[in-house]
Amino acid sequence: MTLTGLFVPLITPFDADGAVALDSLEALARRMLESGAAGLVALGTTGEPSSLTEAERQAVIDIAIRVCPEYDAKLLVGAGTPQALEGLRGRGEVDAALTVVPPFVRPGEDGAVAYLTQLAAESPVPLVIYHVPYRTGQTLSASALAQLGSLPGVIGVKYAAGLTEDAIELMADLPTHFAVLGGDDLFISPLLALGAHGGILASAHLATAQFATLIDAWRTGDIATARPLGHRLAALSKALFAEPNPTVIKAALHTQGLIPTPAVRLPLLPAGDRSLTTAVARAEAL
Protein backbone atom coordinates (compact mmCIF):
# COMPACT_ATOMS: atom_id res chain seq x y z
CA MET A 1 0.00 0.00 0.00
CA THR A 2 1.40 3.37 -1.06
CA LEU A 3 -0.31 6.40 0.43
CA THR A 4 -0.98 9.20 -2.03
CA GLY A 5 -3.06 12.35 -2.19
CA LEU A 6 -4.44 14.70 0.41
CA PHE A 7 -5.00 13.69 4.03
CA VAL A 8 -6.80 16.09 6.35
CA PRO A 9 -5.81 15.90 10.05
CA LEU A 10 -9.20 16.59 11.59
CA ILE A 11 -9.74 19.25 14.22
CA THR A 12 -11.91 18.31 17.20
CA PRO A 13 -14.86 20.72 17.40
CA PHE A 14 -16.36 21.60 20.78
CA ASP A 15 -19.90 22.72 21.52
CA ALA A 16 -21.03 25.60 23.71
CA ASP A 17 -20.77 23.40 26.81
CA GLY A 18 -17.21 22.39 25.99
CA ALA A 19 -18.05 18.83 24.96
CA VAL A 20 -16.84 17.26 21.70
CA ALA A 21 -19.37 18.17 18.99
CA LEU A 22 -19.56 14.71 17.43
CA ASP A 23 -22.22 15.58 14.83
CA SER A 24 -20.14 18.52 13.61
CA LEU A 25 -17.05 16.33 13.48
CA GLU A 26 -18.82 13.77 11.33
CA ALA A 27 -20.19 16.46 9.01
CA LEU A 28 -16.73 18.00 8.70
CA ALA A 29 -15.16 14.61 7.92
CA ARG A 30 -17.69 14.01 5.17
CA ARG A 31 -17.14 17.51 3.79
CA MET A 32 -13.38 16.93 3.55
CA LEU A 33 -13.78 13.63 1.71
CA GLU A 34 -16.49 14.92 -0.61
CA SER A 35 -14.21 17.85 -1.50
CA GLY A 36 -11.35 15.66 -2.70
CA ALA A 37 -9.37 14.39 0.30
CA ALA A 38 -8.01 10.87 -0.15
CA GLY A 39 -8.09 10.21 3.56
CA LEU A 40 -8.33 11.53 7.08
CA VAL A 41 -6.15 11.60 10.17
CA ALA A 42 -7.91 11.13 13.49
CA LEU A 43 -6.16 12.25 16.68
CA GLY A 44 -3.31 14.03 14.95
CA THR A 45 -1.87 17.01 16.80
CA THR A 46 -4.41 19.25 15.02
CA GLY A 47 -7.14 17.33 16.85
CA GLU A 48 -5.81 18.30 20.32
CA PRO A 49 -5.64 14.66 21.43
CA SER A 50 -3.71 15.37 24.63
CA SER A 51 -6.63 17.46 25.90
CA LEU A 52 -9.25 14.78 25.18
CA THR A 53 -10.37 12.08 27.57
CA GLU A 54 -9.95 8.45 26.59
CA ALA A 55 -13.69 8.21 25.92
CA GLU A 56 -13.53 11.29 23.69
CA ARG A 57 -10.57 9.90 21.77
CA GLN A 58 -12.41 6.65 21.15
CA ALA A 59 -15.50 8.55 19.97
CA VAL A 60 -13.38 10.50 17.46
CA ILE A 61 -11.87 7.27 16.13
CA ASP A 62 -15.31 5.65 15.90
CA ILE A 63 -16.60 8.48 13.71
CA ALA A 64 -13.61 8.28 11.37
CA ILE A 65 -13.96 4.50 11.16
CA ARG A 66 -17.61 4.89 10.22
CA VAL A 67 -17.11 7.62 7.61
CA CYS A 68 -13.94 6.64 5.73
CA PRO A 69 -15.17 3.31 4.29
CA GLU A 70 -18.20 5.03 2.82
CA TYR A 71 -15.84 7.09 0.62
CA ASP A 72 -13.23 4.38 0.07
CA ALA A 73 -10.86 6.69 1.93
CA LYS A 74 -7.75 5.86 3.93
CA LEU A 75 -7.67 6.39 7.68
CA LEU A 76 -4.62 7.21 9.77
CA VAL A 77 -4.86 7.44 13.55
CA GLY A 78 -2.41 9.28 15.76
CA ALA A 79 -0.77 6.69 18.05
CA GLY A 80 2.73 7.12 19.40
CA THR A 81 3.06 4.65 22.27
CA PRO A 82 2.88 0.87 22.52
CA GLN A 83 -0.36 1.21 24.47
CA ALA A 84 -1.99 3.50 21.90
CA LEU A 85 -0.93 1.23 19.07
CA GLU A 86 -2.25 -1.84 20.85
CA GLY A 87 -5.59 -0.05 21.09
CA LEU A 88 -5.82 -0.21 17.30
CA ARG A 89 -5.63 -3.99 17.22
CA GLY A 90 -8.70 -5.47 15.60
CA ARG A 91 -9.71 -2.20 14.00
CA GLY A 92 -9.35 -3.26 10.39
CA GLU A 93 -10.64 0.07 9.08
CA VAL A 94 -7.46 1.80 10.32
CA ASP A 95 -4.89 1.77 7.53
CA ALA A 96 -1.94 3.08 9.54
CA ALA A 97 -0.88 4.84 12.70
CA LEU A 98 0.70 8.28 12.58
CA THR A 99 3.55 7.88 15.06
CA VAL A 100 5.59 10.84 16.18
CA VAL A 101 9.36 10.68 16.62
CA PRO A 102 9.79 10.41 20.43
CA PRO A 103 9.41 13.97 21.75
CA PHE A 104 11.15 15.87 24.54
CA VAL A 105 13.52 13.04 25.51
CA ARG A 106 15.89 13.79 22.61
CA PRO A 107 17.35 10.27 22.59
CA GLY A 108 19.61 10.96 19.63
CA GLU A 109 19.09 9.65 16.13
CA ASP A 110 20.14 6.08 16.91
CA GLY A 111 17.83 5.92 19.92
CA ALA A 112 14.90 7.33 17.98
CA VAL A 113 15.44 4.84 15.15
CA ALA A 114 15.71 1.94 17.59
CA TYR A 115 12.51 2.98 19.36
CA LEU A 116 10.52 3.39 16.15
CA THR A 117 11.89 0.11 14.81
CA GLN A 118 10.58 -1.68 17.89
CA LEU A 119 7.19 0.03 17.61
CA ALA A 120 6.93 -0.98 13.96
CA ALA A 121 7.72 -4.60 14.80
CA GLU A 122 5.06 -4.78 17.51
CA SER A 123 2.32 -2.57 16.02
CA PRO A 124 -0.86 -4.21 14.72
CA VAL A 125 -1.01 -1.63 11.91
CA PRO A 126 1.66 -0.08 9.66
CA LEU A 127 3.33 3.13 10.80
CA VAL A 128 3.66 6.52 9.17
CA ILE A 129 6.50 8.26 10.98
CA TYR A 130 5.67 11.84 11.98
CA HIS A 131 8.91 13.82 11.65
CA VAL A 132 8.38 17.28 13.16
CA PRO A 133 11.67 18.30 14.82
CA TYR A 134 10.59 21.79 15.85
CA ARG A 135 8.05 20.12 18.14
CA THR A 136 9.95 16.99 19.22
CA GLY A 137 13.44 18.45 19.53
CA GLN A 138 14.79 15.40 17.70
CA THR A 139 15.95 15.52 14.10
CA LEU A 140 16.29 12.52 11.80
CA SER A 141 18.59 12.58 8.81
CA ALA A 142 17.59 11.41 5.35
CA SER A 143 19.56 8.20 5.90
CA ALA A 144 17.73 7.52 9.19
CA LEU A 145 14.35 8.03 7.55
CA ALA A 146 15.39 5.81 4.66
CA GLN A 147 16.45 3.14 7.16
CA LEU A 148 13.03 3.32 8.82
CA GLY A 149 11.34 3.36 5.44
CA SER A 150 12.96 0.06 4.53
CA LEU A 151 11.22 -1.70 7.44
CA PRO A 152 8.19 -3.83 6.48
CA GLY A 153 6.07 -2.15 9.16
CA VAL A 154 6.72 1.44 8.01
CA ILE A 155 4.90 2.75 4.95
CA GLY A 156 5.59 6.48 5.01
CA VAL A 157 6.61 9.68 6.72
CA LYS A 158 4.79 12.86 7.47
CA TYR A 159 7.65 15.19 6.69
CA ALA A 160 7.26 18.43 8.63
CA ALA A 161 10.85 19.60 8.72
CA GLY A 162 10.63 22.32 6.10
CA LEU A 163 12.55 22.28 2.84
CA THR A 164 16.05 21.21 3.78
CA GLU A 165 19.02 19.38 2.31
CA ASP A 166 17.76 16.26 4.07
CA ALA A 167 14.40 16.59 2.30
CA ILE A 168 16.14 16.79 -1.07
CA GLU A 169 18.41 13.85 -0.22
CA LEU A 170 15.48 11.75 0.98
CA MET A 171 13.40 12.43 -2.12
CA ALA A 172 16.31 11.50 -4.38
CA ASP A 173 16.47 7.90 -3.16
CA LEU A 174 13.27 6.67 -1.54
CA PRO A 175 12.75 3.11 -0.32
CA THR A 176 10.18 1.17 -2.31
CA HIS A 177 6.58 1.67 -1.15
CA PHE A 178 7.66 4.44 1.26
CA ALA A 179 5.42 7.49 0.88
CA VAL A 180 6.52 11.01 1.69
CA LEU A 181 3.56 13.11 2.79
CA GLY A 182 4.35 16.77 3.30
CA GLY A 183 3.34 17.99 6.72
CA ASP A 184 4.74 21.51 6.80
CA ASP A 185 1.87 23.28 5.04
CA LEU A 186 3.85 26.32 3.95
CA PHE A 187 6.33 24.15 2.02
CA ILE A 188 3.98 21.58 0.51
CA SER A 189 4.20 22.87 -3.05
CA PRO A 190 8.02 22.69 -3.38
CA LEU A 191 8.06 19.30 -1.64
CA LEU A 192 5.51 18.01 -4.14
CA ALA A 193 7.68 19.42 -6.91
CA LEU A 194 10.49 17.23 -5.58
CA GLY A 195 8.25 14.18 -5.83
CA ALA A 196 6.33 13.87 -2.56
CA HIS A 197 3.33 11.56 -2.77
CA GLY A 198 0.87 13.91 -1.06
CA GLY A 199 0.35 15.80 2.14
CA ILE A 200 -1.16 15.72 5.62
CA LEU A 201 -2.29 19.32 5.73
CA ALA A 202 -4.29 21.08 8.43
CA SER A 203 -4.74 24.10 6.12
CA ALA A 204 -6.88 21.90 3.88
CA HIS A 205 -9.78 22.35 6.28
CA LEU A 206 -10.29 25.72 4.57
CA ALA A 207 -9.39 24.80 0.98
CA THR A 208 -9.78 21.05 0.59
CA ALA A 209 -10.49 20.99 -3.12
CA GLN A 210 -7.66 23.40 -3.88
CA PHE A 211 -5.07 21.39 -1.96
CA ALA A 212 -6.27 18.20 -3.65
CA THR A 213 -5.90 19.94 -6.99
CA LEU A 214 -2.40 21.12 -6.08
CA ILE A 215 -1.27 17.59 -5.26
CA ASP A 216 -2.78 16.18 -8.46
CA ALA A 217 -1.25 18.97 -10.55
CA TRP A 218 2.30 18.36 -9.32
CA ARG A 219 1.95 14.59 -9.62
CA THR A 220 0.71 14.85 -13.21
CA GLY A 221 3.23 17.51 -14.23
CA ASP A 222 0.68 20.30 -14.68
CA ILE A 223 3.10 23.03 -13.64
CA ALA A 224 0.97 25.80 -15.11
CA THR A 225 -1.71 24.95 -12.53
CA ALA A 226 0.53 23.88 -9.66
CA ARG A 227 2.90 26.82 -9.40
CA PRO A 228 0.43 29.75 -9.03
CA LEU A 229 -1.96 27.65 -6.93
CA GLY A 230 0.91 26.69 -4.64
CA HIS A 231 1.76 30.36 -4.09
CA ARG A 232 -1.82 31.21 -3.13
CA LEU A 233 -2.17 28.24 -0.80
CA ALA A 234 1.14 29.06 0.87
CA ALA A 235 -0.25 32.49 1.72
CA LEU A 236 -3.32 30.82 3.23
CA SER A 237 -1.19 28.42 5.26
CA LYS A 238 0.94 31.25 6.58
CA ALA A 239 -2.20 33.00 7.81
CA LEU A 240 -3.67 29.86 9.35
CA PHE A 241 -0.48 29.17 11.31
CA ALA A 242 -0.02 32.73 12.54
CA GLU A 243 -1.04 31.46 15.98
CA PRO A 244 -0.70 27.97 17.49
CA ASN A 245 -2.47 25.32 15.45
CA PRO A 246 -5.45 24.73 15.28
CA THR A 247 -6.67 27.99 16.83
CA VAL A 248 -6.95 30.04 13.63
CA ILE A 249 -8.35 27.11 11.65
CA LYS A 250 -11.09 26.60 14.23
CA ALA A 251 -11.92 30.29 14.28
CA ALA A 252 -12.21 30.34 10.49
CA LEU A 253 -14.34 27.20 10.39
CA HIS A 254 -16.65 28.71 13.00
CA THR A 255 -16.93 31.91 10.96
CA GLN A 256 -18.00 29.75 8.00
CA GLY A 257 -20.64 28.07 10.14
CA LEU A 258 -19.01 24.65 9.93
CA ILE A 259 -18.40 24.09 13.65
CA PRO A 260 -20.49 25.34 16.60
CA THR A 261 -17.72 27.27 18.40
CA PRO A 262 -14.09 28.28 17.80
CA ALA A 263 -13.17 26.85 21.21
CA VAL A 264 -9.90 25.15 21.98
CA ARG A 265 -8.81 23.59 25.24
CA LEU A 266 -5.98 24.76 27.43
CA PRO A 267 -3.06 25.17 27.12
CA LEU A 268 -4.24 26.64 23.79
CA LEU A 269 -5.99 30.02 23.74
CA PRO A 270 -8.47 31.19 21.09
CA ALA A 271 -7.10 32.98 18.05
CA GLY A 272 -7.19 36.74 17.90
CA ASP A 273 -9.47 38.74 15.63
CA ARG A 274 -6.60 40.01 13.48
CA SER A 275 -5.38 36.51 12.65
CA LEU A 276 -8.91 35.39 11.87
CA THR A 277 -9.57 38.34 9.56
CA THR A 278 -6.36 37.71 7.62
CA ALA A 279 -7.04 33.98 7.28
CA VAL A 280 -10.60 34.47 6.07
CA ALA A 281 -9.40 37.04 3.53
CA ARG A 282 -6.76 34.61 2.23
CA ALA A 283 -9.33 31.85 1.91
CA GLU A 284 -11.76 34.10 0.06
CA ALA A 285 -9.00 35.19 -2.31
CA LEU A 286 -8.53 31.66 -3.60
Verify cis geometry, omega within 30 degrees of 0, for the bond prior to 246: yes
**Ramachandran sector of residue 198 (left: φ over 0; alpha: ψ -120 to 50; beta: rest):** left
Residue 40, SS3 per DSSP:
strand
What the chain holds in terms of domains, given with CATH numbers, is 5-220 (3.20.20.70)
The dihedral of CA 68, 22, 126, 198: what is its sign?
positive
Instruction: Give me the tens of pLDDT residue by residue for the chain, a chain 286 residues long.
Output: 789 999 999 999 999 999 999 999 999 999 999 999 999 999 999 999 999 999 999 999 999 999 999 999 999 999 999 999 999 999 999 999 999 999 999 999 999 999 999 999 999 999 999 999 999 999 999 999 999 999 999 999 999 999 989 999 999 999 989 999 999 999 999 999 999 999 999 999 999 999 999 999 999 999 999 999 999 999 999 999 999 999 999 999 999 999 999 999 999 999 999 999 999 999 999 9
Enzyme catalytic residues: 130, 158
This prediction has a pTM of 0.97
Q: What pLDDT is recorded for position 2?
A: 81
Q: What pLDDT is recorded for position 211?
A: 98
CA neighbor of 183 nearest in space, from 78, 63, 62, 263: 78
CA neighbor of 71 nearest in space, from 42, 40, 92: 40
